[in-house]
Amino acid sequence: MRLIGPEPAPAPAAPDLGGKSIAVAAARFNEDVAERLLSGCLARLRERGVPEDAIDVARVPGSFELPAAAMKLALTERYAAVVCLGALIRGETPHFDVIARACADGIARVALDTGVPCAFGVLTCDTEEQALARAGGAMGNKGAEAADAALDMARLFAAIDAREAAPGGR
Ligand code: RBF
């Protein structure tokens, strides 16, 4: 296959979610940043045509709780993808690294163990200023980018399933 021209941009349209919804697990810790990530994520899901009644939001206390919430949501089989949102800001103790590692590894494990795509919209920043820049500031909104990743993965997984199901498919 030869691709002529640039890589196509991700399709703006929402994928057919096959009757499933999108789950958003959103941590509350570092509230100013966390709420902006959630707003950016929800705005992007709506922009891409996901109906209001197909968006479920589960709030958790902090990023450490995201993997457990994502696992619970994924196991329901109601969701085409789970978006995980959180804001980790480095403090003076090693907690940041411990929580960041548990969070990233845990979310990756949920996706691999359940087969439900989980998008990683968790900021890991040294300062609140850096985090705000990535939550709707100069560096974009990582919550919106996580929404895009979730929809793109949901579409990819649906296409893989459809190909497997196609009669005579190789
Ligand atoms: N949760 C976050 O989402 N972001 C943070 O930056 C963050 N920093 C924390 C720092 C300390 C010292 C502790 C104890 C917790 C922190 N948490 C943070 C909360 C954590 O994710 C979790 O909600 C709590 O530890 C309760 O299980």
Domain positions in the chain are 21-161
pLDDT-above-90 percentage for the chain: 82
Tens digits of residue pLDDT in 78-87 = 999 999 999 9
Distance of CA 63 from the midpoint of ligand 1 (Å): 7
Enumerate residues lining ligand 1, CB below 6 A: 27, 29-30, 61-65, 86-89, 91, 93, 95, 99
Q: pLDDT band for position 92 (50/70/90)?
A: confident
Domain 21-161 has CATH 3.40.50.1980: no
Pocket test of ligand 1: the residue of 35, 60, 64, 142 to mutate, having most ligand atoms within 8 Å of its CB, is 64
How much is the pLDDT for 168?
Answer: 65
Q: CB of 169 within 8 A of CB of 32?
A: no
Q: pLDDT band for position 1 (50/70/90)?
A: low
Atom of ligand 1 nearest to the CA of 90: 6
How much is the pLDDT for 27?
Answer: 98
Contacts (Cβ under 8 Å, ≥6 apart) of 134: 123, 125, 140, 141, 142
Q: pLDDT band for position 170 (50/70/90)?
A: low
**Distance of alpha carbon 64 from the chain centroid:** 15
Tens digits of residue pLDDT in 124-135 = 999 999 999 999
Tens digits of residue pLDDT in 31-78 = 999 999 999 999 999 999 999 999 999 999 999 999 999 999 999 999
- Residue reference for tokens 């919209």: 121
Q: pLDDT band for position 96 (50/70/90)?
A: very high
Residue 137 has pLDDT above 70, yes or no: yes
- In 3-state terms, what secondary structure has residue 86? strand
How much is the pLDDT for 13?
Answer: 56
Q: Which residue owns the Cα nearest ligand 1 atom 20? A: 62
Per the annotation, the verdict on 95 as an active-site residue is yes
| CA-closest candidate to residue 25, choices 150, 139, 136 | 150
Contacts (Cβ under 8 Å, ≥6 apart) of 27: 34, 59, 60, 61, 62, 63, 65, 66, 85, 86, 87, 122
